[in-house]
């Protein structure tokens, strides 16, 4: 594994060893770490491991309150993770100080916040809190608000920033274009939760007049712990203090699975936790930073063969967006549809041929198909506000 830095290798070693001792003494992790005598021999913790560790957790056993957060994730069962309230707020304060120091927000910033707030998934509320810690003004609409309300708030308060997931931001841009109303001019963009494709970036900049783009990175379980100036160094993030990053199973370019240890979390430790993304450690102006490539491929079974979703981007080359949908055909067998946002009707046949080759199907196969759709037709998780690359409807 390769690591980010504390200040020295000795400091990193000390912090990792200390955090491991806290983790393996915790009731969540005693079974998981039972056979581990040293932190270097510990396995990477994945979401399935965390779900198992949380089995049996009850608020009735806690002497004081907790902050409960839901992971959006791709697992069938939602993951509800407890966080100590004071530790959570301390991490947010560190994030706010980082954002202020980098000029992301100032006291004069006004932010149209259309991140999601649904159930225990509350990115919008987290951003509201961080903005207030930056002494900025938030317009807390959330992704659940009607687009007309978002537009009206922007007209009334003239925000300096637009904040949300690329999926919801794109739908808002599309609504502005289709409604015939002039899109609000908002010079800065803050996004998180998904990669920002070049075509989406260009559309948002064109629609809203965006000149500066920022990004945040983290997760429900780990909190937000990295910041990116996506206009200057897209995909390259500054990591907050007290968060250690490892790259597991790195390839020849240094890319591997992003694994994080959050030392803010002591009451409910999170040690060597996989983010489910791929990245590497890079140097920028003498600073060790995290470069993120994208999600780790998600695997699925189709006609008794295991595939992953990493190849669909090449199949759908030239499309503004795509989504693979698994269901059952009329014969009761597996069927896979590639839903694409593509204005070039002539290109659909070529996409269909590439899909058949990729899925090892004959050209006239009824097991795969390509369907041209509008962006609004793609399935968006109502909880997270994200567009999934793979939707499995088989039950």
CA distance 232 to 225: 19
String of DSSP letters for 19-41: HHHHHHTSTTTTTTTTT-SSGGG
Q: What is the pLDDT of residues 38-67, one digit of tens each?
A: 898 899 999 889 989 998 889 998 999 999
Residue 27, pLDDT score: 92
What are φ and ψ of residue 268, in 5° steps?
-130, 85
pLDDT band at 256 (very low <50, low <70, confident <90, very high): very high
Residue 286, pLDDT score: 83
H/E run at residue 208: helix 198-208
pLDDT band at 264 (very low <50, low <70, confident <90, very high): very high
CA distance 115 to 113: 6
pLDDT band at 1 (very low <50, low <70, confident <90, very high): low
Listed in sequence order, the DSSP H helices in the chain are 9-24, 47-54, 85-101, 123-133, 147-157, 166-179, 198-208, 312-315, 345-358
Q: What is the pLDDT of residues 111-135, one digit of tens each?
A: 999 999 887 788 999 999 999 999 9
| Cβ neighbours, 10 Å, residue 155 | 12
Residue 344, pLDDT score: 83
Q: What is the pLDDT of residues 74-114, one digit of tens each?
A: 445 568 899 999 999 999 999 999 999 999 999 999 999 99
Q: Has domain 299-392 been given CATH number 3.40.50.1580?
A: no
Q: What is the pLDDT of residues 266-309, one digit of tens each?
A: 999 999 999 889 999 999 888 889 999 887 777 788 877 778 78
In the chain, what are the domain boundaries?
Answer: 85-295, 299-392
Cα-Cα-Cα-Cα dihedral sign, residues 224, 69, 391, 148? negative
Residue 333, pLDDT score: 82
Residue 128, pLDDT score: 97
Q: What CATH number labels 85-295?
A: 3.40.50.12780
What are φ and ψ of residue 153, in 5° steps?
-65, -40
Q: Of all residues in the chain, what percent carry a pLDDT higher than 70?
A: 96
| Cβ neighbours, 10 Å, residue 177 | 13
Q: What is the mean pLDDT of residues 244-258?
A: 92
Stronger pLDDT, 367 or 307, i.e. the higher one: 367
CA distance 79 to 276: 14
Place of tokens 């409910």: 268
Q: What is the mean pLDDT of residues 255-267?
A: 95
CA distance 196 to 293: 11
- Kindly report the average pLDDT of the chain as a whole number: 90
| Cβ pair 173, 208 in contact under 8 A | yes
Stronger pLDDT, 366 or 95, i.e. the higher one: 95
Res 5 pLDDT > 60: no
Q: What is the mean pLDDT of residues 176-186?
A: 92
- Tokens representing 318 are 């030239």
| Cβ pair 204, 173 in contact under 8 A | yes
Residue 321, pLDDT score: 86
Place of tokens 């007209």: 155
Residue 74, pLDDT score: 46
What are φ and ψ of residue 366, in 5° steps?
-90, 0
What are φ and ψ of residue 380, in 5° steps?
-115, 130
- Tokens representing 298 are 């998600």
CA distance 291 to 308: 22
CA distance 319 to 199: 9
pTM above 0.95, yes or no: no
Place of tokens 């097991």: 367
Res 73 pLDDT > 80: no
Res 20 pLDDT > 50: yes
Residue 281, pLDDT score: 95
């Amino acid at each position: 594994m390769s690591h980010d830095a504390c200040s020295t290798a000795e400091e990193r070693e000390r912090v990792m060893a200390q955090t491991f001792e806290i983790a393996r003494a915790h009731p969540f992790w005693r079974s998981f770490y039972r056979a581990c005598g040293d932190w270097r021999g510990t396995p990477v913790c994945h979401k399935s491991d965390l779900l198992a560790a949380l089995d049996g957790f009850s608020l009735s056993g806690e002497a004081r309150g907790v902050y409960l957060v839901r992971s959006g994730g791709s697992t069938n069962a939602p993951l509800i993770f407890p966080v100590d309230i004071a530790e959570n707020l301390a991490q947010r304060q560190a994030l706010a100080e980082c954002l202020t120091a980098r000029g992301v927000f100032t006291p004069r910033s006004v932010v149209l916040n259309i991140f999601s707030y649904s159930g225990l998934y509350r990115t919008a509320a987290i951003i509201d809190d961080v903005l207030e810690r930056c002494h900025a003004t938030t317009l807390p609409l959330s992704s659940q608000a009607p687009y007309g309300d978002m537009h009206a708030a922007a007209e009334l308060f003239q925000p300096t920033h637009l904040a949300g997931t690329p999926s919801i931001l794109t739908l808002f841009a599309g609504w502005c274009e289709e409604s015939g109303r002039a899109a609000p001019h908002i010079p800065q963009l803050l996004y998180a939760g998904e990669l920002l494709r070049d075509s989406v970036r260009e559309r948002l900049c064109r629609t809203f007049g965006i000149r500066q783009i920022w990004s945040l990175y983290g997760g429900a379980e780990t909190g937000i712990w990295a910041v990116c100036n996506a206009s200057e160094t897209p995909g390259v993030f500054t990591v907050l203090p007290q968060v250690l990053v490892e790259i597991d199973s790195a390839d020849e370019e240094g890319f591997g699975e992003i694994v994080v240890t959050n030392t803010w979390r002591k009451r409910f430790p999170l040690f060597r936790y996989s983010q489910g993304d791929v990245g590497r450690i890079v140097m920028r102006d003498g600073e060790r930073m995290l470069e993120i490539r994208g999600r780790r491929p998600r695997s699925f079974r189709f006609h008794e063969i295991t595939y992953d979703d990493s190849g669909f981007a090449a199949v759908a080359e030239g499309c503004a967006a795509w989504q693979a949908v698994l269901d059952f055909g009329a014969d009761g067998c597996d069927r896979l549809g590639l839903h694409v946002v593509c204005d070039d009707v002539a290109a659909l046949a070529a996409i269909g041929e590439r899909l058949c080759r990729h899925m090892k199907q004959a050209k006239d196969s009824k097991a795969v198909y390509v369907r041209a759709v509008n962006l609004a037709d793609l399935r968006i998780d109502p909880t997270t506000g994200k567009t999934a690359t793979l939707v499995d409807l088989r039950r």
